[in-house]
Amino acid sequence: MAAASSLPYETKNGGSLIASLYYYEYSDGSATAVNGLNYKDTRNTWYKYKDYRSAADDIADTELDIISGGLFGVADALWAAHRGGQLITFTLIKKIFKELWGAIPAIGTIYTVWDYIDKCIVASDLYKKASIYGWYYDSFDKSWYYFNSSTGEKVDGWKKIGSY
């Protein structure tokens, strides 16, 4: 009688569903980093993934401050502007406040929103580095895998590299 294999299950998740910068971790040590509609599979022990996880959790903490201060609409509009390719500047923040609230608030309020957007940008940059590159041995299925150094994706089957 063959031993039953145990499928990995989710053990932890976190980050920000609002900014779409979040992660999942599984019982086999694997992890998935998510940025918008993109995701990368990695290992929860990979130090660059840990940096991303920490930044994503930091965003979620900051969102609680923003929501409790009634600033969510402003922060959401700014993050959408950044994802749309706009440069986040003090002028843009003031413009969005004026459009949503009809007035420009105190500097402390603007700083809170600026800090949130900065944390989102940092986490988004860390996401790019969150996956494993090169050869990786998976002790769960006792197999070696190669992760593409450009995309971080697991390579399946034979691939042509350059002229080889």
Q: What is the dihedral of CA 57, 62, 63, 69, to 10 degrees?
A: 160
In a domain, 3, yes or no: no
In a domain, 91, yes or no: yes
* Mean pLDDT over the full length of the chain: 78
The string of pLDDT tens digits covering residues 9-22 is 999 999 987 788 99
Q: Phi/psi at 49 (nearest 5 deg)?
A: -65, -40
Give the chain's domain count: 1
Q: Strand 143-147: give its sheet, edge to edge.
A: 134-138, 143-147, 154-155
The string of pLDDT tens digits covering residues 122-161 is 898 888 877 666 677 766 677 777 776 666 566 766 766 6
Write down the pLDDT at residue 23.
95
In a domain, 5, yes or no: no
Most confident of 48-57, 63-72, 103-112: 48-57
Spatial CA neighbour of 30 closest among 39, 38, 21: 39
Write down the pLDDT at residue 4.
54
In a domain, 164, yes or no: no
Q: What is the dihedral of CA 67, 75, 21, 47, to 10 degrees?
A: -90
Place of tokens 């440069």: 87
Does the structure show a pLDDT above 90 at 56? yes
In a domain, 130, yes or no: yes
Tally of CB atoms within 10 A around 149: 10
Range of the domain at 17: 10-154
In a domain, 163, yes or no: no
